[in-house]
Amino acid sequence: MDKHVLIIGFARSGAAAANLLQNEGAQVIVSDPKLDSTDKKVMTLKEKGVQFTTDQSVALLNDIDLIVKNPGIPYTIPILTAAEERHIPIVVEVALAQKYIQENWIAVTGSNGKTTTTEMIASVLRTQTGDGHVLVAGNIGTPVSEVAPKMLKDDVLVTELSSFQLTGMPAPKPRIAVLTNIFASHLNFHGTRENYVAAKMNITKHQTAADFFVVNYDNEEWRHLAEQTNATIVPFSRKGVSEAGAYLKNGSLYYKEEFIIAADELGVPGTHNIENALAAIAVGKLMRVETTNIAGALRSFSGVEHRLQFIGNFYDRPVYNDSKATDIEATEMALSGFNVPVILLAGGLDRGDDQMRLLSAMKQHVKGLIVFGETAEKLAAVGKKIGIPVLYAKDAPSAVKPAFELSEAGEVILLSPAAASWDQFPNFETRGNLFVDAVKKFKF
């Protein structure tokens, strides 16, 4: 490859892209205004001939054949708008890796549940192929370009793909594409809901009839969207809309007419995890995993960090960390998984959502509410309308003490913010980790 490639935004995906391109013989320059020249990855890549700069002026585009951008960087920044005017291709790191991906590629996207579904699928597949033959990458943490070049013919690659990544992938063609759901999200990046939906649907746009599109059928819009695919549709449904794929019926999960597992045997609570499990069952069956192996994997699956993660029993109170619940739908789903009273800890960045949408779920499940962050007053209004105790805290870790004081033995303490973390924390992981630390340090 004799290309001149500009990488915009370093981070982990940028580092992986630079390494792959350098190995392929490209001339690579990385641009990042927040570049840390002492970073070991920067120093290693410099030794290999990669150039680095904090400059992002349009002058950088001279002689550039390709741009690889960090998925979260908007296309509206000046250097990218100038690149589009010059018809310079702009892709994301995952696109570079596509040519290395072998036949067994499973790609998962959706507004909610994609990380848990990705991990569930991987757990199911490992029961049949072993740990070493199931690779997990993408938005879940490990860049695809770190994994795909090492992929063997019989390996299975399970990728989580965000709307940001799918926007920058010219022609993804997984053997199995999975759509967990679609809600309004990331409109500040995509501009309109239509653009966001189009980005999500890029996961199946280039599939053929020999491929499979595993899609949630519990929403009329999602069923209509499925009609756009050329792939073979495999539906999953928690509400019994279709029994053509995986579905819930009378408290049990089935694939077509075959019983797989009882819902109360799943290793993680919540109606959303029933949906995630149904998607994993569909993929497992398509990949010819034995039913007993699928059921065993779903029983032993204990969840993903910050996603309705069970922290433990503290003073006879089960505590859950659902810091990844950054929208109202995720918190509704989390609450639906409990049949005992819940002390809900919620609040965060105010993106203009109507918190009253939580009214029904909170009325059914929440005994007490502790609020914080920019959405505190909106959430408090919901609690007061229901007539439950409402307390205020500085942030999620500070809410731990009043949560224990407000609760009784056997009642659930749940952090499920229904909002992003950026008003108080750099990311949901930090918010969740600090909450968990506070729980473990708490003394009555």
Check if the beta carbon of residue 32 is closer than 8 Å to that of residue 14. Answer: yes
Q: Is 111 labelled a binding residue?
A: yes
Q: Is 142 labelled a binding residue?
A: no
Q: CB count, 10 Å around CB of 72?
A: 14
Q: Is 110 labelled a binding residue?
A: yes
Contacts of 115 (CB under 8 A, 6+ apart): 139, 140, 160, 304, 307, 324
How far apart (Å, rounded) are the C-alpha atoms in residues 15 and 145?
A: 10
Q: Is 114 labelled a binding residue?
A: yes
Q: Is 13 labelled a binding residue?
A: no
Binding residues: 110-116
Binding residues for ATP: 110-116
